[in-house]
Amino acid sequence: MGQFGIGQAVTRFEDPRLLRGEGRFLNDVNLLGQAHAVLVRSPHAHARIRSIATSAATRAPGVLAVFTGADLARDGLGTMRMTLKRKRPDGSPMWAPPHRGLTQDRVRYVGDPVALVIAETPAEAKDAAELVQVDYEPLPSVTATAEAVGGAPVWDECPDNISNVFETGDRAATDAAFARAHRVIRRRYVITRVHAQYMEPRGALGVYDPGEDRYTLYADVQYPHRVRNALASNIFQIPEHKIRVIAGDVGGGFGTKGWQYPEHRLVLWAARKLRRPVKWACERHEAILADEHARDNVSEAELALDAEGRFLALRVRTLANVGAYVSSDRNLLATFTNVVTLVGVYAIPAAHVQVTCVLTNTNPTAPYRGAGRPEATYVIERLIDDAARELGADPVGLRRTNVIPSSAMPYRTPLGVTYDCGEFARSMDAAVKLADVAGFAARYQAARARGRLRGLAVVNAIERAAGPQPEFAEIRFHPSGSATLLMGTKNQGQGHETTFKQILHERLGLDPAEVRYIDGDTDRVAFGIGTMGSRSTVIGGTALWLAADKVIAKGRKIAARLLEAAEADVAFADGRFAVVGTDRAVTLRDVARAAFQPAQLPPGLEPGLYETGTFSPPDDTYPNGCHVCEVEVDPDTGAVALVGYAVVDDVGTVINPVTLKGQIHGGVAQGVGQALMEQVVYDRESGQVLTASFMDYAMPRADTLCDMVIESNPVPTKLNPLGAKGAGEAGTVGALPAVINAVLSALAPLGVREFDMPATSERVWRAIQTVRAAT
């Protein structure tokens, strides 16, 4: 409806403020009397702590306190808890040790926090941190996923380093299908470890109010309410109302800013002990040591086909690196809920998947844009391209043979979930056209004439987004008729203010300029789960829709009284309540004003107009789409250039085509980054992180990417009244396999058969040299 309604290309309302530098990010928040915290982190991948001497640091200029794990333990702080009940291979309960905040006896990864130094200034805290003397006894370490089982034990209690094993699908049916297969394609795929390089590294500012005996945490988190709940229930063991969490502007979250990090409890605890606000601001070079990492798995994957090229079964065995600690269910998410999309958009009658979660001397891993879905899509889409090469089949044709037809919707997959709707073949055909796949042969020849290799990949992506969990919205009118919108989701750059104001405008006709938008404050917003898993639009948007329904229902009663008509004769549309068949009408604003004047209300109606909506969907949505990537490779240097990228997405009803394109674009860039260059690398012997700065951890830049063409083929879902599916991760889910498949398509004519990410020029060059040497 109108210029701001659903489907309109509205430019973001939040941008002027952000572009003028008027945002309020964590480092913009500074309080009177604030002290500064620095963490002493382990320089070893694995070591026993013999002793920690803090006296020199305590005496250093400006130092207010130096705390260790012993102090934390003395004060009885708790730890995060898991609810997942998994087992180890021998049937014993899973070994999933949480982090205690500061470790006392043993460090288990480079960066493991050991002591907290608090001083008047950040520089004084840093200088003093260098004076904390920790006597370490180094121990053997293991960092590589493939070497974890049987490697040096990270925990004595878990000698084989297997935290837990998870399986799904039908093993017997899968084995039977493989036994009668005409062809079986077997491959091993490695998905690298990456780190979310936020625009603003993490931080935390803790405040304690002795008068109220209450804590406030300012932190750039994705789920403020759940962080509050975890701090209250698990860490401090106090009621939730004793803690307020405020998340202002967040300079990128990407999944790994989601949950409760040790620094959150430490600044609150220290603020209480010192009776001063305490701030920790992570520095760029510290971030890779301090933050959760992501991805990092190795899969043995097998696809069984019949003589006609139809897929019969899929079998996948994955080793997933969970790091040294497992603090919450969330840390296992990528190894769990999203495995179900391993069958992709294809009709594969049988599948069986087993994921072995291994502990290593590395940072814990956590959901990161896609959280398991890019990994799953990577496996199936690479297998299909590899199968096409082995069978001499056309990769698009092979996909077409096996894609789930729209007529089969809703479709129950062999991994136990139901795809409710989607037009996979249509989106693929549209993407093939959009990317001019027909013209590839000519572009390939032209590239060859220039001495370049050219490759193309068509990849279908599907993901699980916005699963059943509640979200909250409140529309609060004020006596003048203006309104405030409060959301339980937390924007980190997705454009939520714009998206939700559009939905509000669509439903209630409110002028976005007259609505104040609030999120990220547990005192102001009654409830929330937060933003992850591409859930905000679908679930938050629907909660808002329900709250708007209640505004209309109550408003109709008030309007009927104002219009002296029967309630049944009053209809609401375009922001006005009108008596059907007449020109008598009042605006919602008039009605909101009247709501605060008891004399104007029908007898017995409660004054005021503030309505809430809480929604939990019945099932997940399945956003999907087709990505076509084209690359050119310089065979002399191995340099890969992205030369074409097309996406046809289906995120159901599109709320805003501009912000949606931004999300797809950003998501693709994130996938391209991992596929081409990003990687956390550990030294195998010492367990040291070799990629702790931007000198070594390569990030994609504008010139890494090419122009992208993005179109939508929306198939609205019936799972929510908006018809929307999640979109925030969709780009990344498709990009990981699209880029690597395109690189391999370019290298295949030379004889390269196997290639793992990242496609850096050095690795590509080596792959070329290896096959040249062999021929």
Q: Which of residues 571-630 bind ligand MCN (CB under 6 A)?
A: none
- The site string for ligand MCN over 253-272 (x = CB under 6 A, - otherwise) reads xxx-----------------
115: tokens are 């002591």
Q: Out of 98, 374, 528, 652, point to the residue binding ligand MCN (CB under 6 A).
A: 652
The site for ligand MCN, by CB under 6 A, has a size of 35
Query: Does 651 engage in binding with ligand MCN (CB under 6 A)?
Result: yes
35-41 and 278-281 beta bridge pairing: parallel
| Binding range to ligand MCN, per CB under 6 A, among 440-448, 612-620, 727-735, 751-759 | 727-735
Q: Out of 79, 494, 713, 741, point to the residue binding ligand MCN (CB under 6 A).
A: 494
Beta bridge partners of 123: none
CB 304 within 8 A of CB 340: no
3-state secondary structure of 254: coil
62: tokens are 């400006």
- Least distance in Å: CB of 414 to ligand MCN? 26
Query: Does 46 engage in binding with ligand MCN (CB under 6 A)?
Result: no
- Least distance in Å: CB of 377 to ligand MCN? 15
Instruction: Give residues with Cβ within 8 angstroms of 116, minimum separation 6.
Output: 37, 38, 39, 40, 65, 66, 67, 68, 102, 266, 270
Q: Between vectors from CA 714 to CA 708 and to CA 720, what angle results, nearest 5°?
A: 130
Q: Which of residues 234-253 bind ligand MCN (CB under 6 A)?
A: 252-253
| Binding range to ligand MCN, per CB under 6 A, among 158-166, 238-246, 526-534, 570-578 | 526-534
- Least distance in Å: CB of 195 to ligand MCN? 14
CB 278 within 8 A of CB 34: yes
Beta bridge partners of 454: 632
Neighbours of 267 (CB within 10 A): 28
3-state secondary structure of 250: coil
Q: Out of 493, 613, 673, 737, point to the residue binding ligand MCN (CB under 6 A).
A: 493
Q: Out of 206, 277, 533, 555, point to the residue binding ligand MCN (CB under 6 A).
A: 533
Query: Does 495 engage in binding with ligand MCN (CB under 6 A)?
Result: yes
CB 303 within 8 A of CB 184: yes
CA distance 268 to 277: 8
CA distance 653 to 717: 8
717: tokens are 């879902």
Q: Please, what is the angle between helix 761-774 and helix 730-747, to 10°? A: 30
Bond preceding residue 89 cis, omega within 30 of 0:
no
CB 370 within 8 A of CB 463: yes
Tell me 240's DSSP state.
Answer: G
- Least distance in Å: CB of 297 to ligand MCN? 18
Q: Out of 638, 726, 734, 737, point to the residue binding ligand MCN (CB under 6 A).
A: 726
Q: Out of 328, 536, 713, 745, point to the residue binding ligand MCN (CB under 6 A).
A: 536
| Binding range to ligand MCN, per CB under 6 A, among 43-51, 109-117, 601-609, 647-655 | 647-655
- Least distance in Å: CB of 637 to ligand MCN? 33
- Least distance in Å: CB of 624 to ligand MCN? 12
CA distance 502 to 511: 9
Q: Out of 399, 535, 593, 763, point to the residue binding ligand MCN (CB under 6 A).
A: 535
| Binding range to ligand MCN, per CB under 6 A, among 290-298, 353-361, 591-599, 653-661 | 653-661
Query: Does 713 engage in binding with ligand MCN (CB under 6 A)?
Result: no
- Least distance in Å: CB of 15 to ligand MCN? 12
Q: Out of 653, 679, 713, 745, point to the residue binding ligand MCN (CB under 6 A).
A: 653
Q: Out of 655, 692, 735, 740, point to the residue binding ligand MCN (CB under 6 A).
A: 655
| Binding range to ligand MCN, per CB under 6 A, among 164-172, 178-186, 659-667, 675-683 | 659-667
- Least distance in Å: CB of 130 to ligand MCN? 33
Work out the end-to-end distance of the chain between its first and last CA atoms, rounded to an integer number of angstroms: 64
CB 680 within 8 A of CB 288: yes
Query: Does 194 engage in binding with ligand MCN (CB under 6 A)?
Result: no
Q: Which of residues 344-403 bind ligand MCN (CB under 6 A)?
A: 369
Query: Does 534 engage in binding with ligand MCN (CB under 6 A)?
Result: yes
Q: Please, what is the angle between helix 373-391 and helix 395-402, to 10°? A: 120
**Encoded amino acid at 287, one letter:** A
Query: Does 663 engage in binding with ligand MCN (CB under 6 A)?
Result: yes
- Least distance in Å: CB of 482 to ligand MCN? 23
CB 155 within 8 A of CB 95: yes
Residue identified by tokens 């693929």 is 428
- Least distance in Å: CB of 723 to ligand MCN? 8
**Encoded amino acid at 190, one letter:** V
Q: Out of 42, 297, 612, 659, point to the residue binding ligand MCN (CB under 6 A).
A: 659
Q: Is 718 exposed, middle or buried (0-12, 13-18, 19+ CB in 10 A)?
A: exposed
CA distance 36 to 265: 15
Query: Does 492 engage in binding with ligand MCN (CB under 6 A)?
Result: yes
Q: Which of residues 538-577 bind ligand MCN (CB under 6 A)?
A: 538
Please count the helices (runs of H) and the strands (runs of E) in the chain. Answer: 18, 28
- Least distance in Å: CB of 198 to ligand MCN? 7
- Least distance in Å: CB of 557 to ligand MCN? 33
Query: Which residues sit at the interface with ligand MCN, rule CB under 6 A?
Result: 252-255, 369, 492-496, 499, 531-538, 651-656, 659-660, 663, 666, 724-729
